[in-house]
Amino acid sequence: MSRRVEVVSRSRGFRAPVAKVRAAIRALDGMRWARCPAGELSVAFVGDAEIARVHGEFMDDPTVTDVITFPGDAPAGGEPFAGEIVINVAQARREGPAHGQSARAELLLYLVHGWLHLAGHRDTSRAQAEAMRRAEARALATLGRSGLRGL
């Protein structure tokens, strides 16, 4: 699948790794066991304040979180929009080292997590969260074989 991927950075002091994000999305789109809807995909890198604002506005929870995913739609007569993945860079900088990995590897995990949400994976129940962790591991292994270990 070929798709347009828009990458923006609204996190102070962070330059979005556009080529790596696009390469990761291409590799994820190539997996046969999970399918993200067709259409343009937007990936935004933000900080704590913006993710808390978005989290509060759209999910009625104004706390800081790691990643938020918004499914897209298929507009009548227009190009389909797969969705948007909003990634918190500050959270990755804190959580990556806390989990024994780099912030860049944590950012890749957040990208994978958001993509899997668009592909239909959920994590609201314990069983769904366990299935999401397995899917993340499988997707990260695919990306690792492609040479991507972080963003």
Q: Would residue 32 be called left, alpha or beta, if left means φ above 0 and alpha means ψ between -120 and 50 degrees?
A: alpha
The CATH T-level fold of domain 5-145 is Collagenase (Catalytic Domain) (3.40.390)
pLDDT of residue 145: 87
Q: Could you tell me whether strands 81-88 and 67-73 are parallel, antiparallel, or unpaired per DSSP bridges? A: antiparallel
pLDDT at 76 over 80: no
Q: Is a pLDDT exceeding 70 seen at residue 75?
A: no
Q: What is the pLDDT of residue 69?
A: 97
Q: For residue 148, what pLDDT is reported?
A: 87
Task: Please state, in angstroms and rounded to a whole number, the distance separating the CA atoms of residues 63 and 11.
Answer: 17
Token pair of 100 as six digits: 């024994």
Split at pLDDT 50, 70, 90, the class of 74 is low
Nearest-5° angle of CA 125, CA 81, CA 113?
35
pLDDT at 77: 67
Q: What is the pTM of this model?
A: 0.94
Give yes or no for residue 1 having a pLDDT over 70: no
Give the DSSP per-residue string, 68-86.
EEEEEE--TTS--EEEEEE
| Extents of the domains making up the chain | 5-145
State the pLDDT at residue 104.
95
Q: What tokens appear for 57 in the block?
A: 């506005």
- Per-residue pLDDT of 103-134, as tens digits, reads 999 999 999 999 999 999 999 999 999 999 99
